[in-house]
Amino acid sequence: MAKNTLSITDNRTGKQYEIPIELGTINAMDLRQIRTDAEDFGLMTYDPAFTNTASCKSRITYIDGDKGILRYRGYPIEELAEKSNYLETAYLIVKGELPNRQHFETWEHNITVHTMVHENIKKFMEGFRYDAHPMGMLVGTIGAMSTFYPEAKNIFDLDSRRLQTRRLIGKVPTVAAYAYRHSRGLPYVIPDNELSYTGNFLSMLFKMAELQYKPNPVLERALDVLFILHADHEQNCSTSAVRAVGSSQVDPYSAVAAAAAALYGPLHGGANEAVIRMLVEIGDVKNVPEAIKKFKAGEGRLMGFGHRVYKNYDPRAKIIKQVADQVFEVTGKNPLIDIAVELERIALEDEYFVKRKLYPNVDFYSGIIYQAMGFPMEMFPVLFAIPRMAGWVAQWAEMVRDGEQKIARPRQIYIGEDTRRWIPMADRPEPLQREESVSHQI
Ligand code: ACO
């Protein structure tokens, strides 16, 4: 019978090793025994950007990138997007099971009672410059929240973890909406707990002089579906950030602020903005073939296409395309959609994209929908961060409870200078020579 092991021959020494394979992986520490002599540190792996390294075991999200499958706790994303709502999906992600009615109502209540923020948080946010980026405000304010809830540092206390989880999921739309209102010079709108999670968010964003804001049910549901689609995506950049920072045992607000900072970057939370800019630049359906030609020649990339993990149609992109049609029925069509559809049509038939398995990802259509709903582009990463909070806190709590985890501390391959002697300043090389030295560059 085939053995679940890996045999390695070290050709430097001729020695042989047998290493167990568990769950399709080898344990990197098992390589450390492979040494040339007693002085040797032992073999390591080199994996910049962790493209082939599992950093944890997780029960939360499953992705099969080749088949285009995404599941939260075993439930296919398509079913959740069709039948669930964001708060129920957040419960599923955080707690591992779908709630029964009573558990859902308690959860909804527990989140809703935490939608208000401390008055000093509002004051704190007033201190941002009039033109501050809403995502910068969100990152800073989530970090500042740790000072309002000092007991959050008790990360091994289950009750404390639960309380911070509810607070974070409950307050993130409020902080996000305040950031938006601040950047528009509009007064803050207090949460309306009569409304749904997304309905209340729309109210805090767009309420003007009316006594009660009534969200359009189609837009409310569309946003809810988009929130479901963005709730978790296993070990992406921001989730890895929350786990790495949280592994120092810092409080969850600080760890989640780090995750939000990761999401601020254009390669993570900013791709849908790049899609809009690209579509505007293309300008017209008739210019699409020319644009495709340029992408194929390496002049820029077809933004919203391709994914590190998905080598098939991103299942979220399929759902988003349907949501777009529903939203446009209410808002009128975003003219950029025609350019996007034509780009997709041509790219999916083109050998360049087919051969490289480049398909639309979640960002290809999401920006077009957000724009049609009236969101400025700076809000796009904020709209991503709100639902991802469920994923971040669930992944953080899973990491805290995981006995195999320790403080995250990758290794490096040192390629710098060997030991050197300090020399007096007067004897050091001239600046010109020093600038040429690679090690002097920052
Ligand atoms: N347009 C044109 N060519 C592309 C594209 C694209 N969007 N994406 C990849 N390619 C090509 C590359 O040029 C490369 O071609 P080559 O083999 O001839 O050199 C090949 O496909 C593989 O590309 P890599 O960059 O090695 O793939 P990687 O997995 O590292 O990158 C990424 C994935 C970053 C998402 C990439 O596809 C890309 O830049 N896409 C556009 C940006 C985008 O939409 N980002 C959002 C991702 S989803 C998210 O973060 C939520």
Q: Would you state the pLDDT for residue 437?
A: 57
316 in Cβ contact with 71 (< 8 Å) = no
DSSP 8-class letter at 282 = H
Residue 186 phi/psi, 5-degree rounding, is -105, 150
CA of 66 to the centre of ligand 1 (A): 15
**Cα–Cα separations (whole angstroms), residue 60 to 41, 97, 310, 394:** 35, 10, 18, 8
132 contacts: CB under 8 Å, gap ≥ 6: 179, 182, 183
List the catalytic residue out of 192, 224, 232, 363: 363
List the catalytic residue out of 268, 338, 350, 402: 268
Which atom belonging to ligand 1 lies closest to the Cα atom of 364? 44
Mean pLDDT of 82-97: 98
Q: What is the pLDDT of residues 26-64, one digit of tens each?
A: 999 999 999 999 999 999 999 999 999 999 999 999 999
Q: Is 305 in the pocket of ligand 1 (CB under 6 A)?
A: yes
Residue nearest to atom 17 of ligand 1 (CA): 356
Q: What is the pLDDT of residues 320-369, one digit of tens each?
A: 999 999 999 999 999 999 999 999 999 999 999 999 999 999 999 999 99
152 in Cβ contact with 146 (< 8 Å) = yes
Classify 228 in phi/psi space as left (phi over 0), alpha (psi -120 to 50) or beta: alpha
Q: Is 293 in the pocket of ligand 1 (CB under 6 A)?
A: no
Percent of the chain at pLDDT exceeding 70: 98
Residue 442: pLDDT over 90: no
SS3 state at 26: strand
Q: Is 96 in the pocket of ligand 1 (CB under 6 A)?
A: no
Q: Would you state the pLDDT for residue 391?
A: 98
CA of 425 to the centre of ligand 1 (A): 47
CB-count exposure of residue 65 (10 Å: 0-12, 13-18, 19+):
middle
Q: What is the pLDDT of residues 123-170, one digit of tens each?
A: 999 999 999 999 999 999 999 999 999 999 999 999 999 999 999 999
Among 229, 308, 316, residue to substitute to test ligand 1 (most atoms within 8 Å of Cβ): 308
Q: Would you state the pLDDT for residue 267?
A: 87
Per 3-state DSSP, the chain is made up of helix, strand and coil in percentages (nearest 5) of 55, 5, 40
Residue nearest to atom 11 of ligand 1 (CA): 356
How do beta strands 61-64 and 25-26 pair? unpaired
Mean pLDDT of 260-284: 93
Q: What is the pLDDT of residues 406-435, one digit of tens each?
A: 999 999 999 999 999 999 999 998 876 555
DSSP β-bridge partners for residue 9: 16
Count the neighbouring beta carbons within 10 Å of the beta carbon of residue 260.
28
Q: Would you state the pLDDT for residue 308?
A: 86
CA of 384 to the centre of ligand 1 (A): 20
Q: In which band, very low, low, confident or very high, does the pLDDT at 381 lie, cut at 50, 70 and 90?
A: very high
Q: Is 306 in the pocket of ligand 1 (CB under 6 A)?
A: yes
Distance CA 379, CA 370 (A): 9
Residue nearest to atom 47 of ligand 1 (CA): 307
Q: Would you state the pLDDT for residue 352?
A: 97
Residue 175: pLDDT over 70: yes
Catalytic residue flag (residue 307): yes
Q: What is the CA radius of gyration of the chain?
A: 25
Catalytic residue flag (residue 363): yes
Distance CA 237, CA 241 (A): 6
Estimate the crossing angle of helix 363-372 against helix 315-331, to 10 degrees.
Answer: 20
Residue 303: pLDDT over 90: yes
How do beta strands 69-72 and 61-64 pair? antiparallel
Distance CA 25, CA 4 (A): 10
Among 350, 356, 363, 368, residue to substitute to test ligand 1 (most atoms within 8 Å of Cβ): 356
Residue 105: pLDDT over 80: yes
Q: Is 286 in the pocket of ligand 1 (CB under 6 A)?
A: no
CA of 41 to the centre of ligand 1 (A): 36
Average pLDDT, rounded, for the chain: 95
How do beta strands 25-26 and 15-22 pair? antiparallel
CA of 356 to the centre of ligand 1 (A): 9
Distance CA 120, CA 122 (A): 5
DSSP state string for 61-109: EEEETTTTEEEETTEEHHHHHHH--HHHHHHHHHHSS---HHHHHHHHH
Q: Would you state the pLDDT for residue 178?
A: 98
CA of 271 to the centre of ligand 1 (A): 11
Among 307, 370, 380, residue to substitute to test ligand 1 (most atoms within 8 Å of Cβ): 307
CA of 305 to the centre of ligand 1 (A): 7
Distance CA 385, CA 138 (A): 9
Q: Is 276 in the pocket of ligand 1 (CB under 6 A)?
A: no
Please give the structure tokens belonging to residue 277. 């800019």
CA of 367 to the centre of ligand 1 (A): 18
Q: Is 303 in the pocket of ligand 1 (CB under 6 A)?
A: yes
DSSP β-bridge partners for residue 90: none
Which atom belonging to ligand 1 lies closest to the Cα atom of 306? 37
Residue nearest to atom 22 of ligand 1 (CA): 356
Tell me the HSE value of 286 on the side-chain side, using a 13 A CA sphere. 0
Q: What is the pLDDT of residues 178-199, one digit of tens each?
A: 999 999 999 999 999 999 999 9
Mean pLDDT of 66-70: 96
Q: Would you state the pLDDT for residue 431?
A: 73
